[in-house]
């Protein structure tokens, strides 16, 4: 509570909070502990929720904060009536399972939100990383997620500084400090994946329906900004260029997306 209050006193509002990172993982190289779903539900109901109320704090409390492959964890938490009243929804990571579980969670708990709070590219990835990451962004947002957080924000040429945990994870930018007087900054593919969305999506934007062309490797997701502009984020995950048509309210536009490319289209009806 003091941490939240301290940030807010300093003028930094706290949007949301999870009580623990990856509660099903017992980390060998950094601080952490396991917390079973029943334990988290009891903690929300009997300790955390009452403490927030007593402190007059109301951040969005996110259950779970771990991989898509254990959807029964947040389900257990949200099925507890008292924990349900505390939780705003579920936080997910991408290191196991599929984003479609977020839609299943939404169907079961339609009043609760979904967030992807941690995803990272790494040195094991092969092929077109840009298209891979962008395809996941599309899948994440098409399955009800309100966020897609890639980390770390910046790493050095050795993927550090490293204090435990992942030593192969890629930052959004790499800062080469091997020659400190001439340090250089290199934006990685992840930087551009997010930039193709964040540059055009305004605060308060909502996802709207869009079709993905059958029989192609084209992936897309559409949003409506508060100023009325429509944003269409597209990915060609295939190995050849693809012609496609955008249709909206009786008007059409035809274009081509090169193999492995990401493009954002913006228009105002």
pLDDT for 206-240, tens place per residue? 999 999 988 899 999 999 999 999 999 999 999 99
pLDDT at position 180 is 87
Is 233 inside a domain boundary?
A: no
Is 36 inside a domain boundary?
A: yes
pLDDT at position 162 is 85
Long-range contacts of 193-198 (CB under 8 A, 24+ apart): 193/130, 193/133, 193/134, 193/137, 193/150, 193/262, 194/137, 194/148, 194/150, 196/134, 196/233, 196/262, 196/263, 196/264, 197/137, 197/148, 197/231, 197/233, 197/264
Domain that holds residue 60: 2-202
Is 268 inside a domain boundary?
A: no
Dihedral of alpha carbons 100, 173, 152, 90, sign: negative
pLDDT digits (tens, 9 = 90+) for 181-210: 999 999 999 999 999 999 999 999 999 999
Residue 261 · residue 194 · CB < 8 Å: no
Q: List the CATH number of the domain containing 83.
A: 3.20.20.80
Q: The tokens of 265 are what? A: 């289209």
What is the number of structural domains in the chain? 1
pLDDT at position 45 is 98
Is 223 inside a domain boundary?
A: no
Predicted TM-score (pTM) of this structure: 0.95
Please identify every residue annotated as catalytic.
22, 118
Those residues of the chain that have pLDDT short of 50 are none
pLDDT at position 154 is 95
Is 211 inside a domain boundary?
A: no
pLDDT at position 163 is 85
């Amino acid at each position: 509570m003091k941490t939240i209050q301290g940030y807010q006193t300093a003028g930094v509002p706290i949007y949301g909070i999870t009580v623990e990172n990856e509660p099903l993982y017992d980390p060998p190289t950094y601080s952490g502990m396991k917390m079973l779903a029943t334990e988290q539900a009891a903690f929300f109901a009997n300790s955390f929720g009452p403490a927030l109320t007593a402190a007059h704090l109301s951040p969005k409390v996110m259950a779970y904060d771990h991989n898509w492959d254990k959807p029964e964890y947040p389900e257990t938490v949200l099925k507890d009536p008292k924990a349900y009243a505390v939780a705003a929804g579920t936080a997910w990571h991408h290191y196991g399972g599929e984003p479609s579980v977020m839609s299943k969670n939404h169907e079961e708990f339609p009043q609760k939100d979904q967030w992807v709070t941690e995803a990272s590219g790494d040195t094991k990835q092969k092929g077109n990383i840009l298209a891979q990451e962008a395809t996941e962004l599309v899948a994440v947002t098409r399955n009800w997620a309100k966020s897609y957080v890639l980390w770390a924000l910046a790493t050095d040429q050795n993927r550090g500084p490293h204090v435990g945990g992942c030593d192969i994870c890629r930052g959004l930018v790499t800062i080469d400090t091997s020659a400190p007087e001439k340090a250089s900054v290199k934006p990685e593919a992840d930087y551009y994946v997010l930039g193709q969305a964040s540059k055009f999506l305004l605060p308060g934007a909502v996802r709207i329906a869009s079709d993905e062309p059958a029989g192609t490797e084209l992936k897309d997701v559409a949003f409506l900004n508060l100023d009325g502009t429509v944003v269409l984020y597209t990915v060609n995950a295939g190995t050849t260029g693809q012609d496609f048509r955008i249709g909206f309210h009786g008007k059409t536009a035809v274009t081509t997306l090169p193999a492995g490319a990401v493009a954002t289209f913006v228009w105002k009806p």
